[in-house]
Structure 1
Amino acid sequence: MASLFLVLVLVTAFDPGFTYVLEGESKTLKWPPAYHLKGDAIDILTGVIKPFEIWYSDKLNQSRVDYYGGTVKHYIVGENDEKYGKEFVVNPVTNEEETNVNVCKEKDFEGPATNFLGSVADFEYQGQETYNDRVLDVWKYYKNEEDDQKVEQMLYAYQDADGFDIPVVREVKASNLWIGTLKDHTVSRYYDFSKPADADLDYNLDATCKDTVKSSDFMEKLHLSSDVEKAFASYINRHNKNYGDDHEMRKEIFQNNWRRVVEHNKKNLGYTLTLNKFSDWTEEELANLKGTRLSGEHVGSVPFPHTEEEVEALVQELPDYYDMRIEGYITSVKNQGTCGSCWAFSTTAAVEGALARSNGGRDLDLAEQSMVDCAWGFGNVGCAGGLVDGAYKYILKHGLPTQMEYGLYLDEMGECHRENMTSFYNIKGFAAVPPLSVNAMKVALYKYGPVTVSINANDPLSAYNSGIFFDPSCNSAPANHGVVVVGYGKRDGVDYWIVKNSWGEDYGQDGYILMSATNNNCHILESAYYPIV
C-alpha cells in the first residue's frame, strides 16, 4: 500500500479527489481500437508539463500526436506489413526572412502506427477508487528485471459503453536497482475521450504537408553539412518510458550497458561509468540529445585578441586551478530533455556566465527556448540540432530574453514570440579560441569567461560518473554535442577542463564532467567560442 499512497499524494497535488475502495474482482484491461484524447504529461524529473492531443486508429494503421495546442504535430502512417511506415512532422520555423512558418517534414518510421496507450500486457486489476466524484478502476504494472531495473505503473481508468477502458491518470516510474536511482517519473492525465474522425489522422489534409520535403532536403535548405543529415536520418519519435512491446529490446540495451559499466570500472582508468537515465536508450534516442555540428569554419565575429607569444606569457601568470562556479558566475545545471537543443543550452550558459562576470555576479536565467523557436535562419533546426557559431550569430543580432519573460523551456519546438518581449540581453561579439591550444583555452577562461565547445559525446561519456574522462577512441567520430567549459584544474599531474552539460544534475558529477586536456580529447579544442559582453 505504500507505493499506492505515494501515487495518490502525487496525483492529488495536481487534481485532488481520490478515495480508495478495494474490490476482489478480476478484470482484463482492453483499450479501444480507435480513440481521440487530450491531456498533459508531467515529467517530474525535468519539471516540463507537455500538453498533448492524440488520435489512433488500429483499422487505418494511423496515429497522430499534437503538442502545445498543435504547435508541433506528428502524423504516423503504418504500412501494410506493420514493420515500416512514414512520419510527417509539422513544426514552426523562424529564420531571418520569415517568422513562424510551418514546415512539414517526412521521415521513415519503424513499426506500425503508434498506439500511445501502450501494451495492456501484465497489468493487474487492483480495485476501484473515487476520483473527482467518479469511480475508476485501478490497474498496476510491475516488472523487476533480474534485479537490475524496476518499472512501475499505476493506471486509473473507466469503461465506456462498449466495454473498452478509457485512461484518466497514469503514473510511470522506472528505477535503476543497480545504483538505486529513479531515472524516469511521469504523470499523464487524459480527458475528452471521443472516437477519432478519419480526417484528423490524414496528413494529406494538413495544408502544410502539401509541400512536404524530405528531412535531408530540409537540412540542405538550412545549409547544414551532410554530417547532420546522416546523423539524423534514423531519428525516431521520442521514447515514451511506458515500455509496452519494447520491453525485451530495452532489457537487452540495459544489459549491454550494465556489462560495459562493470567491465570498465574494474580497469581503474581514472574515471568511472555508471548506469544512468540513458542506459536503456537506443542509439537513435541518444543521438537526439547530441544536436551540435560544426559549420566548417572556425571564425568569430571578432578575432582572438592575443598572439601565440602573448598566450604563452599570460599563461605563466594564471593559477593552477580556476573554477567559475566558486566565483558565483555559473547558473544551475539545466536539462534539455529529449530535444536536440544542446547548441542552444551551451551558448546560453556561456552568455549567462559572461554577463554574471560583468555585472558583479548577478545570475540571469536566459531563455534557451527562444533560440529553439527563433534561430532557424542561422543553420539551426530547433530540436534537430544546430551550430554553435550560428547560435552566437543569432544572439549577436537579436539578443536573449529571460526565461521568466519568454516562458518555460518546452522540450519541443514552439512558435517564436520574441516580438512580445520588453527587453533582451545582448553580446558585443564572440571570439574563436585558437584550435588545439590548451594554453589559449586557459587564457580565454580566466580572462573572458565560459567557453562553448563541441565534443564527441560517445557512449562512455553518456555513462560518465566521476573522475577525469579520457577515452582514446573518442576522436574517432566527429563532434556532435555542445557543452560549456567553466574552468580548469590539475589532478595527479593531469590537466582537465570543468565542463557543464545540459543533461540535468543527475548526470555525472552534479551535471558536470571533468574532461582531460590531453590530446584534444573528444575534439574539445577544435571548435571553441566565447561571448563578449
Structure 2
Amino acid sequence: MAALPAILVLFLYLNFSSSYILLRDDDNEIIWPTEYHFKGEKLDFMTGQKTTFEAWYSAEQNRSRFDIADGTQSMWYYGDTGYYYERHPITNEEVTNEEICVAWQFGGEQVDFLPDTSDLTYTGQSTTLYDKVVDIWTATEEYKNKMVLETTLYVFKTDSGYDLPVQEVQKEINYNIGQVQGHIITNYYDFSDTVSEEQVTVDNVDDCEENDWGNDFYEDMKHFHHDLPAHVDFAFELFINHHNKFYQDEEYQMRKRIFEKNWRMIEDHNRKNLGYRLELNTFSDKTPEELKHLTGTRVSKHKHHVTMPFPHTVQEVDDLVKELPESLDLRIEGDDTPIKHQGSCGSCWAFCTAAAVEGALARVNGERLLDLSEQSLVDCSWGYDNDGCSGGTLDGAMKYVFEHGLPTEQEYGLYTGIDGYCKIQNMSTTYNIRGFSEVTPRNPNALKVTLFKYGPATVAIYASDRFLQYSSGVFYDFECLGVEYPNHCVTVVGYGVRDGEDYWIIKNSYGEQWGEDGYILMSAKDNNCLVLDSPYYPIV
C-alpha cells in the first residue's frame, strides 16, 4: 500500500503529536489525562445540527477511537502501526446497510480528541457549570477582514491532579457587518480514566480493505468528519493541494476556519435530501467579500428605449406553449457554446450576454457557433450602465451589442479578467443584433416560448452561498425567499422536468468544475431566486 506524500506525513505527525502539559501564565497549567473515555455533543447553532460522539484515548496503548451517532460511524487510530480504520454502513443496489471497514496509512500517532489549548489564556476566573466549579480559559484569534474567532473553554480540575473539559464555546464574528457567522458549543461528560485494549481495537481488522489517499479528493473527503480537529486539518491540507492553493501563517488559519464552516454547511444540507446537493469547490475557503466579484449584476437604472416589446400576448403564449415539447435543451440543439470562467472579475453580465448572442446567432448561421469576446464588453461598454469588473446590467449590455456589436475572442484577444483598454475600433468584423426584448416577467410559459422560438435568454438571479457551492440536482434555495434584488447574471438554455419538478437549465460562468459541468438546474417553482423577474433575449 502506498504511503502518504512526505509533506502530508510530516503535516499529520505535527498535528497528531500533542503534549498533555501546557504551561500558562502565573504557573497555571492544563494537564489533560493520558487515558480517558468520554461522551459528548456538538451543537452548531448556525445550521441547527447536533452531533453526539464518544471517544477513547490511551497513551499507554498508543491507540484511540472516535464514534459518531452511537457508533453509526467508528474511527480507530493506531499509533503503533500508523494506520487509520473506519467502519460505517453502506446501502447500494446490491446491499442494504451493510457494514464495511476501510483502512489507510496516515503515518502519525493516535489522535487526541481533547480541545487544543495552545492559544488559551487563564482568565483567573471561575464559575459553576453543570454542578462543577470550572476555570475559564479564553483565546481570541483575529483574521483578515475583521474576522474574529473567540474561544472559551471551561475546565474542571479533578482530585487526581488532571483537568477535564466541561464545555467549549466558539464564536466567529464578522465585525465588518457586526454579525455572528459561526457559533458552536461542545459539551463533554461521562469521563472515566480507564481504557481497555478491546475498546481501542478494531474487530476483524483483517477484513478491512486497504486504500490510498490522494487518488480522488471527493472520495477521500467521505472518510473525514468535520467534528474532529485532526480531520479538519488533514481535509484542509488535501483541499488546498487539490486546488493548488498555498497559504501561510495567519491566512492559513483563516482559510481553514472558512473551509470548516462551509464543509459543515454542505454536509448539513446534503444530509437533508432537499433535491439538490452541494460540494466543496474552489470557493469554499473564501470570504463573502472576496466572492462578491462572482455576483456583479445589478438592476438597470432605467429601461432603454431600444428595448423591443415582447411579441406575444399572454393568450398567445398560453396557446403556443401547448405545442412545445415537455423538455428543451439548447445544448443538444447546437445553440450553446462551451462553458467559460469569469475569474476574479465581476463580469457575469458580460458572459451571460455573450452566451445569449452566440446562441441566437447559431440559430441563423446553421448552428455555426461563434466564440464572442466578453472582454470587449468589459472594456468598451462603460457608457451603458456597466462598470467593467465592478458589475453591469442586462439591458445595458444588450444595448451596447445592438449599437456596437461583439468581435470574436480570436480577433479581440483573450479574456484577461481586468478592466482594459477598448480595442473595438480596430476590429475588422463585429456581430450585431437587430434588437433585444424583455420577456414578460414572472411568466414561465413566456420564457419557454422564448427559448423554443428565439434561443437562449439572459436572466438576473440572486446567487446565495448555497448557489456558489452547488453540485447537482434541482436547486431550490430558501435563502432566496424575501430577496428583492438580483446580484448575478446567467443564461437560460433550456427547461425540463425531474421527479415532477419543473426546472430551468442554466448556464453559469464559473468554469466546468462548478455544478453539473458548469450548469445548474434551477427550480421553476415560485420564481425562486428571482429567475423570472427580468429575462432578455437578443433578436438577430
- Paired position in structure 2 for 1:409: 415
Structure 1 residues 84 and 313 mapped into 2: Cα distance closer, same or farther (>3 Å)? Answer: closer
Partner of 2:464: 458
Q: Does the residue aligned with 2:289 lie in a helix, a strand or coil?
A: helix
Within the alignment, does 1:491 sit opposite 2:498 as a pair? yes
Q: What SS does the aligned partner of 2:521 have?
A: strand
Matched-pair identity in %:
55
Q: Tell whether the 8 Å contact from 1:364 to 1:402 is kept in structure 2 after alignment.
A: yes
Structure 2 contact 460–531 (Cα < 8 Å) conserved: yes
- For residues 488 and 308 of structure 1, the distance between their equivalents in structure 2, rounded to whole angstroms, comes to 19
Asked if 2 retains the 8 angstrom alpha-carbon contact of 1:144 and 1:150, the reply is no
Q: Distance in 2 between matches of 1:285 and 1:351?
A: 29
In structure 2, which of residues 248, 267, 270 is the aligned counterpart of residue 262 of structure 1?
267
The CA deviation string for residues 190-214 of structure 1, in whole angstroms up to 9 with x for no partner, is xxxxxxxxxxxxxxxxxxxxxxxxx
Q: How does 1:332-411 map to 2 (within 5 A)?
A: 332-411=338-417
Aligned match of 2:19: none
SS at match of 1:256: helix
2:445 aligns with: 439
Q: Match for 2:294 among 272, 289, 300?
A: 289
- Give the superposed CA RMSD: 2.5
Q: Does 1:304 align with 2:310?
A: yes
Superposition deviation, residue 286 in structure 1: 1.0
Q: Distance in 1 between matches of 2:397 and 2:466?
A: 27
* Matched AA of 1:183: H
Query: Which among 506, 514, 538 is matched to residue 531 of structure 1?
Result: 538
2:521 alignment partner in structure 1? 514
How far apart are 1:183 and its partner, in Å?
2.6
Structure 1, unaligned runs of 5 or more: 5-81, 86-109, 111-142, 152-172, 176-181, 186-240
Distance, in Å, in 2 between the alignment partners of 1:482 and 1:184 is: 28
Distance 1:245 1:303, change over 3 A: same
Deviation at 1:150, TM superposition (A): 2.0
Query: How many angstroms apart in 2 are the aligned matches of 1:520 and 1:356?
Result: 29
In 2, Cα distance between equivalents of 1:2 and 1:348: 48
Correspondent of 1:146 among 229, 233, 238: 233
Q: Which runs of 4+ in 1 moved over 4 A?
A: 1-4, 82-85, 296-300
Query: Of 476, 480, 493, which aligns to 2:487?
Result: 480
Q: Where in structure 2 are the equivalents of 1:63-212 lying within 5 Å?
A: 146-150=233-237, 174-175=240-241, 182-184=242-244
SS in 2 for 1:247: helix
Contact in 1 for aligned 2:353/2:458 (Cα 8 Å): yes
Correspondence for 1:271 among 252, 272, 276: 276
2:292 counterpart SS class: helix
| Contact 2:144/2:254, CA 8 A, preserved across alignment | no
1:163 is aligned to none
Structure-2 change in CA distance of 1:269 and 1:3 (3 Å): closer
Residue number in structure 2 paired with 1:468: 474
Aligned to 1:117: none
From 507, 526, 531, give the equivalent of 1:500. 507
- Determine the C-alpha separation between the residues in 1 that align with 2:508 and 2:237: 27
Q: How many Å separate the matches in 2 of 1:83 and 1:521?
A: 34
Verify: 1:419 aligned to 2:419, yes or no: no
Deviation track 1:143-197 (CA, whole Å, cap 9, x = no partner) reads 995221227xxxxxxxxxxxxxxxxxxxxx923xxxxxx3346xxxxxxxxxxxx
CA contact (8 A) 1:184 1:277 kept: no
TM-score normalised by the chain length of structure 2: 0.56
Deviations 1:219-278 (A, max 9, x none): xxxxxxxxxxxxxxxxxxxxxx54553111111111100000001001010000111111
Residues 84 and 334 of structure 1: CA distance in aligned 2, closer, same or farther (over 3 Å): closer
Amino acid at match of 1:514: L
Contact 2:317–2:449 under 8 Å retained in 1: yes
State the distance in 1 between where 2:4 and 2:350 align: 38
Q: How far apart in 2 are the matches of 1:273 and 1:280?
A: 15
Give the deviation of 1:474 after TM superposition. 1.1
Deviation at 1:83, TM superposition (A): 8.8
CA–CA separation in structure 1 for the residues paired with 2:508 and 2:233: 32
Query: Does the CA-based 8 Å contact 1:298-1:432 persist in structure 2?
Result: no
Amino acid at match of 2:283: F
Separation (CA, whole Å) in 1 of partners of 2:423 and 2:267: 48
Give the CA deviation at 1:492: 1.3
User: 3-state DSSP class of the match of 1:383?
Assistant: helix
The question of whether the paired residues in 1 share the 8 Å contact of 2:232 and 2:260 is answered with no
Give the partner amino acid of 1:528: P
**Maintained 8 Å contact 2:293/2:346:** yes
CA contact (8 A) 2:144 2:251 kept: no
Question: C-alpha separation between the residues in 2 aligned to 1:375 and 1:517?
Answer: 32
Q: Residue 475 and residue 252 in structure 1: after superposition, are their counterparts in 2 closer, same or farther (change >3 A)?
A: same
CA contact (8 A) 1:365 1:403 kept: yes
Separation of aligned partners in 2, 1:184 and 1:330: 30
Once residues 514 and 354 of structure 1 are traced to their aligned partners in structure 2, the CA distance between those partners, rounded to angstroms, is 21
Shift of residue 3, structure 1, vs aligned partner = 11
- Looking at structure 2, the residues matched to 431 and 244 of structure 1 have their Cα atoms a distance apart, in angstroms, of 52
Please report how far the alpha carbon of residue 377 of structure 1 lies from its aligned counterpart in structure 2 after TM superposition.
0.5
Distance in 1 between the 2:286 and 2:235 partners?
Answer: 15
- SS state at 2:495 partner: strand
- 2:325 aligns to what SS in structure 1? coil
Give the partner amino acid of 2:413. Answer: G
Aligned length: 319
Deviations 1:447-481 (A, max 9, x none): 00000000001011111000000012214332100
Change (3 A) 1:243 1:290: farther
Q: Contact 1:454 / 1:527 at 8 angstroms: preserved in 2?
A: yes
Match of 1:314 in 2: 320
Give the whole-Å Cα distance in 2 for the aligned partners of 1:483 and 1:489.
17
Amino acid at match of 1:464: Y
Question: Deviation per CA, 1:16-61, whole angstroms, max 9, x where unpaired?
Answer: xxxxxxxxxxxxxxxxxxxxxxxxxxxxxxxxxxxxxxxxxxxxxx
Alignment correspondent of 1:330: 336
In structure 2, what residue type is equivalent to 1:267? Answer: K
Contact 1:367-1:402 at 8 Å conserved across structures: yes
Listed as ranges, the gaps of 5+ residues in structure 2 are: 6-142, 147-175, 177-229
Could you tell me whether the CA contact under 8 Å between 1:342 and 1:483 is conserved in 2? yes
1: CA distance, partners of 2:298 / 2:429:
30
Counterpart CA distance in 2 for 1:284 and 1:403 is 30
